[in-house]
Structure 1
Amino acid sequence: MAKYWLVSFVLLCTACASVPKKLELPENTQTVEFSSAKSPTAAIIGQKARWGGVIAAIKNNADNTMLEVVNFPLNYKLRPNKSDETQGRFRVYFKGLLDPVIYKVGRSITALGNVAELESGEIGEHKYDFPVLKDASVHLWKNIQRVDINLRQSPYYYHNDPYYWSGSHINYSRPVVIRSSSSNNKQSNKSIMPPVKKR
């Protein structure tokens, strides 16, 4: 039963998660999809759009900052889902200074702004028409730290108590193996197994 309570708790936390305030819009606000902005019509110029991706370039101008972004679809938190495929690139104009040391190439952002006319530019030597967001709010996402954890499960019935009799079987807490990238930590790959304790 414990694992079902855990799943329910995770789902509850997910439902309560909110998007960053600077990316919020009134309910039922229509936004322009990135695919539509690659061939903009007069009807969508000036409309709100919320796009995200990975910074490919940054340029600080006299009165604004331009971010060139590789587009990726957004998840339920409006964070970009990075993959090996993208619909293209776009440009974001922020009124003010964004420090290139913080907003550096490779960081994930989501922007909320107004759709503008396409801008002609280049990616390397390839000519490219960039969809544009102007007067944008920009949310910089924190990098996700991943830890390699292997969990070995007891074949017996799981209980919250690390030492629990179930009929003729003894249940014990699950050992966890954490693999460290450091070669100096020789103890990091060992399993931790608590002693079996009878009641």
Structure 2
Amino acid sequence: MVALGLAGCATGPQFDTRDTLSALTPSQVALSEEGAAGARVVWGGMIVNTRNLEQATQVEILAYPLDRQQRPRTDRTQQGRFMARVPGYLESVDYSPGRLLTVTGRLEKVVTGQVGDTPYRYPVMAVDNDYLWPQEADPVNTRPRFNIGIGVILSN
């Protein structure tokens, strides 16, 4: 019973970061000529677009710094965009724009794409593990509520 209670308190993916380049950001990789190919990283951010390919799903992510639970901190300055190539099929309804995602994997290359009409260099990561963060509750419905009323007890 205690183990179940502790498991319920765990937050986030807690990916192993020992062999990762934790200070490396997508913006830095996009600016470099070699693109840090082969480097292992843990990045996260807000999903911009999800595209299902034949054998993988490509997720465009606007990166943000991660907190201690490896959750993207959208209240901080963004760190550029990157493409996460996840093996297999991901449901684009679940992995929809605005959702937060943390991924770990190896950098493969930098590709040129577009953000609107502007050319953009995207680092591409081959994803080993991903964690889709639960959607935030609606802040309107999570405010404290105070009710005042009169209770009536009826007896037979």
- Asked whether the 8 Å contact 1:17–1:77 carries over to 2, the reply is no
- Asked whether the 8 Å contact 2:103–2:127 carries over to 1, the reply is no
State the TM-score, normalizing by the size of structure 1. Answer: 0.61
Corresponding residue for residue 148 of structure 1: 143
The one-letter amino acid of 2:19's match is T
Q: Which runs of 5+ in 2 are unaligned?
A: 1-5, 150-156
Corresponding residue for residue 64 of structure 1: 56
The one-letter amino acid of 1:134's match is A
* 1:134 equivalenced with 2:126 (yes/no): yes
Once the two structures are superposed, residues 92-112 of structure 1 have per-residue CA deviations (whole angstroms, 9 ceiling, x without a partner) of: 001100111111111110010
- Where do 1:26-41 residues align within 5 Å? 28-32=18-22, 33-34=24-25, 35-40=27-32
The one-letter amino acid of 1:120's match is T
Mapped to 1, the partners of 2:35 and 2:47 lie a distance apart of 28
Q: Which runs of 4+ in 1 moved over 6 A?
A: none
Corresponding residue for residue 24 of structure 1: 15
State the TM-score, normalizing by the size of structure 2. Answer: 0.76
Q: What is the aligned-residue identity percentage?
A: 26
Q: Give the greater-gyration-radius structure (CA).
A: 1
* 1:108 equivalenced with 2:100 (yes/no): yes
What secondary structure is seen at the aligned counterpart in 2 of 1:38? helix
- Asked whether the 8 Å contact 1:91–1:130 carries over to 2, the reply is yes
Aligned CA-pair RMSD:
2.5
Q: Which runs of 5+ in 1 are unaligned?
A: 1-12, 150-177, 179-188, 193-199
Mapped to 1, the partners of 2:95 and 2:47 lie a distance apart of 8
Alpha-carbon shift at residue 29 of structure 1 (Å)? 2.3
- Asked whether the 8 Å contact 1:37–1:115 carries over to 2, the reply is no
The count of corresponding residues between Structure 1 and Structure 2 is 137
What secondary structure is seen at the aligned counterpart in 1 of 2:74? coil
- Where do 1:32-181 residues align within 5 Å? 32=22, 33-34=24-25, 35-40=27-32, 42=34, 44-83=36-75, 85-145=77-137, 146=139, 147-149=142-144, 178=145
Mapped to 2, the partners of 1:70 and 1:110 lie a distance apart of 11
The one-letter amino acid of 2:119's match is K
